[in-house]
DNA sequence: CAATAGATCATCT
DNA sequence: GATGATCTATTGC
């Protein structure tokens, strides 16, 4: 199935965080049998970005953010949910991208089983907590290498041309006006909502 | 529709 | 001991 798509190499991630965040839009996030098109991301920078976990320096939790690019940073929040980030910048420089929404393209039955509350396809993985739940991503994936293994990001054979909206990040208080959230414009219409299209 | 409360715990002060 | 990069069910218009 999804194996025909090329996995993004580590060099893709070893760049400025904002660049990585923008270019992740339209790529395919794959975990085991499930996959979805990335529709929304947020950039979290280094020491000057008070909203970023990395702003407090290296702790047991933030270690991965300072490490090799192309790894997953997964953290647990609100006593209930996990959030998935991808580490950017060269090793030693902090920076990561929060994946906030995907549009499901494969493994629908598994996703629905893990998210019985979802009312529609668009609702299945349209949020940071929703998508980790739908894909079955937990703290066990923290630190895992997304250039190989069961959790990867891939590109279509043909790059889709996307209209990208830039807005402030949501759900934070510090640096709340920084334009570091990137959304695919009209993301719901990017792919058919006809379920027979999907795997 | 819009607003709100509740669930629940790792991490850092 | 407080806080939080959230989601859902429920309430009130």
Residue A26 within a domain: yes
DSSP code of residue A150:
S
Chain position carrying tokens 């999907």: A198
The domain tally of chain A equals 1
Q: How far apart are the first and last CA of chain A?
A: 9
Question: Which nucleotide is the nearest neighbour of A118, by CA and C1'?
Answer: C8
Strand, coil or helix: what is A66?
A: helix
CATH number reported for the structural domain that contains residue A109 in this entry: 3.10.300.10
Residue of A120, A140, A138 whose CA lies nearest to A129: A138
Nearest residue to C9 (CA, C1')?
A: A117
**Strand C proximal residues, A:63-122, Cβ < 7 Å:** 73, 76-81, 83, 85, 96, 98, 115, 117-118
Contact call for residues A54 and A65 (beta carbons, < 8 A): yes
Residue A194 within a domain: no
Measured between alpha carbons, how far is A199 from A190 in angstroms, rounded to an integer?
Answer: 17
Residue positions counted in chain A? 199
Burial class (CB in 10 A: 0-12, 13-18, 19+), A148: exposed
In tens digits, what is the pLDDT along chain A, a chain of 199 residues? 545 789 999 999 999 999 999 999 999 999 999 999 999 999 999 999 999 999 999 999 999 999 999 999 999 999 999 999 999 999 999 999 999 999 999 999 999 999 999 999 999 999 999 999 999 999 999 999 999 999 999 997 777 789 999 999 999 999 999 999 999 997 766 666 555 556 6
Residue A129 within a domain: yes
**Å from A191 (CA) to B12 (C1')?**
42
Q: Which residues contact A3 (CB under 8 A, 6 or more apart)?
A: none
Residue A15 within a domain: yes
Residue A6 within a domain: yes
Residue A139 within a domain: yes
DSSP run (H or E) holding A135:
helix A128-135
Q: What is the pTM of this model?
A: 0.94
Measured between alpha carbons, how far is A175 from A25 in angstroms, rounded to an integer?
Answer: 23
Residue A199 within a domain: no
Chain position carrying tokens 């020491």: A47
Range of the domain at A14: 2-187
Residue A192 within a domain: no
């Amino acid at each position: 199935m999804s194996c025909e798509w090329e996995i993004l190499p580590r060099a893709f991630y070893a760049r400025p965080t904002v660049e990585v965040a923008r270019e992740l839009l339209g790529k395919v996030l794959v975990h085991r049998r499930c996959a979805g098109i990335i529709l929304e991301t947020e950039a979290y920078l280094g020491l000057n970005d008070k909203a970023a976990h990395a702003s407090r320096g290296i702790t047991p939790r933030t270690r991965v953010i300072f490490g090799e690019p192309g790894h997953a940073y997964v953290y647990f929040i609100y006593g209930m949910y996990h959030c998935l980030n991808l580490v950017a910048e060269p090793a030693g420089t902090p920076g990561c991208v929060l994946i906030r929404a995907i549009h499901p393209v494969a493994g629908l039955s598994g996703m629905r089983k893990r998210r019985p509350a979802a009312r529609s396809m668009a609702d299945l993985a349209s949020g940071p907590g929703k998508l980790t739940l739908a894909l079955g991503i937990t703290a066990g994936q923290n630190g895992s290498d997304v250039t190989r293994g069961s959790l990867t990001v891939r590109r279509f054979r043909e790059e889709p041309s996307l209209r990208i909206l830039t807005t402030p990040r949501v759900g934070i208080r510090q640096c709340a006006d920084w334009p570091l959230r990137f959304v695919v414009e009209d993301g719901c219409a990017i792919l058919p909502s006809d379920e027979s299209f999907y795997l």
